[in-house]
Amino acid sequence: MFANEIGFTIRNHAPLNVKKWKEVKPEDRTSLIKRITTKYDIDMSLPWVKRYVNKSFGTVFANFRYKLKKHFEQFSTKEEALENKHKDVKTEDEWAFLCTYFSSEDFQIVSEKNSINRSHLKYHHKAGSKSFMSHQEQIAAQSGEMLGAIERFEMEYKSIKKGWDLGAKELWDQMVKMRTETTLPDGTQTMNDDEICAKVLGVKSGYIKGCGFGPRPPPSSTSRSSLDEMSEKNKELEDKLEETQDTIKAQQEKIDAQNVLIQELQEQGKKFEQFMATFMNQQASS
């Protein structure tokens, strides 16, 4: 439901007159996130929540743009495409921007590079549009336990009807072999499944390749981006602490000044009382 809400928000409210997600203005991103947080109780101050939401927004935005590009490519000329705006594009200005961008030389170069990169994929998952984590949780709900990393890989890349993607089967065989080789006679594993997957599949952007957003490499492989986010969060907390300390110091200085003034007034009051007592005694004597 949360993933669907992100998709709905991007399709209906994200600005389309930009070349890519990174060019969406910060205030527009904040507005999109606000639409999510008004419906779901999530804490965007947590680094991993912030990372997931931003990554999901970027992925959905890219997929939506690809859908619009495929619609654009149905027409033989830019002019013909301009006259046939996609139903999910809200304004003519945004569609005109997209048509101009899709027909530009810069976009054609980028598109060609992306096509080449996709052709280099060695294996393809069989999970469809549902996320890996959704599949895993569904199986866990049915079986009562979460699968290990190697079993999860088999689930995502082996089709019941069509069998294995050959590239994935080769990697799975390597992981099973490595697990056997690193298991002692008493059953103790010197490498757990997550470590084996990270070793065989590799790590990219802090995640194990081919395993979706969820599985992370062992703690020793903590990504630079995660450390940067933690450092940035600590810096924010330190700045807030320093600001609070400055405020307390300023308030204390005001209180000290008020105490000095009160003391001076009390001393003046005592002197006045002494003067009045002396004056009254003199008047009584005369």
- CA–CA separation, 73 and 102 (whole Å): 9
Nearest to 93 by CA among 31, 1, 16, 189: 16
Helix axis angle for 2-13 and 26-37, nearest 10°, is: 140
- Residue 102 maps to a domain: yes
* Residue 200 near residue 175, CB atoms below 8 Å: yes
How wide is the angle at C-alpha 156 spanned by C-alphas 154 and 159, nearest 5°?
A: 80
Q: What percent of the chain has pLDDT over 70?
A: 76
Q: For residue 45, tell me if it sits in a domain.
A: yes
Domain boundary among 69, 86, 120: 120
Same domain flag for 138 and 192: yes
CA Rg value for the chain: 33
3-state secondary structure of 106: helix
* Assigned domain for 100 exists: yes
Which helix (DSSP H) or strand (DSSP E) does residue 163 occupy?
strand 163-164
Which of the listed residues 50, 85, 120 is the one where a domain comes to its end? 120
**Three-class secondary structure assignment of 218-254:** CHHHCCHHHHHHHHHHHHHHHHHHHHHHHHHHHHHHH
SS3 170: helix
150 and 76 co-located in one domain = no
Q: Quickly count: other Cβ atoms within 10 Å of residue 110's Cβ.
A: 13
In a shared domain, residues 61 and 165: no
In tens, the pLDDT along 19-47 reads 889 999 999 999 999 999 999 998 888 88
Mean per-residue pLDDT of the chain: 80
Looking at the fold, whether 88 and 137 belong to one and the same domain comes out as no
d(Cα 137, Cα 129) in Å, to the nearest integer? 15
Q: Do residues 215 and 207 make contact, with C-beta atoms less than 8 angstroms apart?
A: yes
Count CB atoms within 10 A of the CB of residue 125. 18
Q: In this structure, is residue 99 part of a structural domain?
A: yes
**Could you read off the pLDDT of 52-107 as tens digits, one per residue?**
898 889 989 999 998 999 999 999 999 999 999 999 999 999 999 999 999 888 88
- The verdict on 96 and 162 lying in the same domain is no
Q: Which pLDDT band holds residue 221 (cuts at 50, 70, 90)? A: very low
Cβ partners under 8 Å of residue 200, min gap 6: 171, 174, 175, 178
Number of domains in the chain: 2
Considering the domain architecture, whether residues 76 and 158 belong to the same structural domain is answered as: no
Establish if 146 belongs to a structural domain: yes
Q: Quote the CA–CA distance of 244 and 255 in Å, as a whole number.
A: 17
Kindly report whether the global pTM for this prediction surpasses the value 0.95.
Answer: no
- Of 85, 120, 155, the residue that ends a domain is 120
| Average pLDDT rounded to a whole number, residues 131-152 | 70
Question: Distance (Å, rounded) from C-alpha 257 to C-alpha 262?
Answer: 9
Range of the domain at 44: 1-120
Structure confidence by residue, pLDDT tens digits, 147-168: 777 887 787 777 777 777 667 7
